[in-house]
Amino acid sequence: MSVKRLPLLKRPYFARRILEIGPGHNPFKGVTHLLEMDVHEGRERGGNALFIPKAAKLVVGEATDLPFASSRFDYVYASHVLEHVEQPQRACREILRVGRAGYIETPSPFLEQGLALRDETSPEHWFHRWFVFAVGADRLVFEPKTPEQVGWFCSCRDGQFLREFYGSLDFRDAQHCFRRAAKTTIFYWTGAFSVEVRKTGLDCRDGGSPCRFTGMREMLVGNCRDLLRGHRVLRLKRKFPDCQAVFRKYGHATMLIG
């Protein structure tokens, strides 16, 4: 069974006690403790059985009420967990309470919204409750993933660019043309970070707070400037030629597209 690893320069080499929340069937290498809510059914891990490394201890519990003493761990992993919880602020508070540093990963809003726009599944069966994105290096923002919010776009130029981009293709197919960095929110923290849970998506032209679409645009355009993965971008352009006009219209044309 394979295990996950962070990039070489990001790994917690000197951490002795390492917790992973919600490891499922593919935990990170080096974990000493695993916290899992669902140890039997595995509904949200595709029915796959848990994998528990020999040196690790499995603990049953909830991310919003971690059964550990404060500052118990040198490092905490929470990968593809926080988009599921009902109370993300409480879960993050618990992570900060028990850990000194860590790594958080969720699907990016770019992926979540793109897939949900054409999702024929009833929203009652959606596993993911939140769009999750970082603002700067020390703030994690949660916006509700509801049918209303899936169809909503900020009035700013970035929001309208994304609205037209999604309308120019079938994202369920196009998603395979994008690199992992565009499809995930990756957040490293040390010491502390702040959490903002919004009741709805914010229009940055009204209140000045950053909307989620600026980061989505940066991910998309950055992906389409990546010469190392140029074959994927060229495939995108070939299969969905209408997206080129959207890139040109908003001034985001690159060597590979537009």
The token duo for 205 is 């032209």
Last residue of a domain, one of 49, 81, 106: 106
**H or E stretch at 246:** helix 242-249
**Which residue carries 């989620």 as its tokens?**
212
Distance CA 93, CA 180 (A): 27
Q: What pLDDT was estimated at residue 50?
A: 86
Do 151 and 132 share a structural domain? yes
- The torsion angles phi and psi of 97, rounded to 5 degrees, stand at -70, -40
Q: What pLDDT was estimated at residue 97?
A: 98
- The torsion angles phi and psi of 139, rounded to 5 degrees, stand at -135, 130
CATH number of the domain residue 88 falls in: 3.40.50.150
How many structural domains are present in the chain?
2
Q: Going residue by residue through the chain, which has 258 residues, state the pLDDT in tens, using 9 for 90 and above.
A: 678 999 999 999 999 999 999 998 899 999 999 999 877 665 555 667 888 998 899 999 999 999 999 999 999 999 999 999 999 999 999 999 999 999 999 999 999 999 999 887 777 768 899 999 999 999 999 999 999 999 999 999 999 999 999 999 999 999 999 999 999 999 999 999 999 999 999 999 998 899 999 999 999 999 999 998 899 999 999 999 999 999 999 999 888 887
In a domain, 179, yes or no: yes
Last residue of a domain, one of 106, 123, 156: 106
Q: Are strands 130-134 and 139-144 parallel, antiparallel or unpaired?
A: antiparallel
* Residue 240: Cβ within 10 Å count: 19
The token duo for 159 is 């929001």
Domain range for 45 is 14-106
Q: pTM score, two decimals?
A: 0.93
Degrees (nearest 5) of the Cα angle 130, 134, 138? Answer: 130
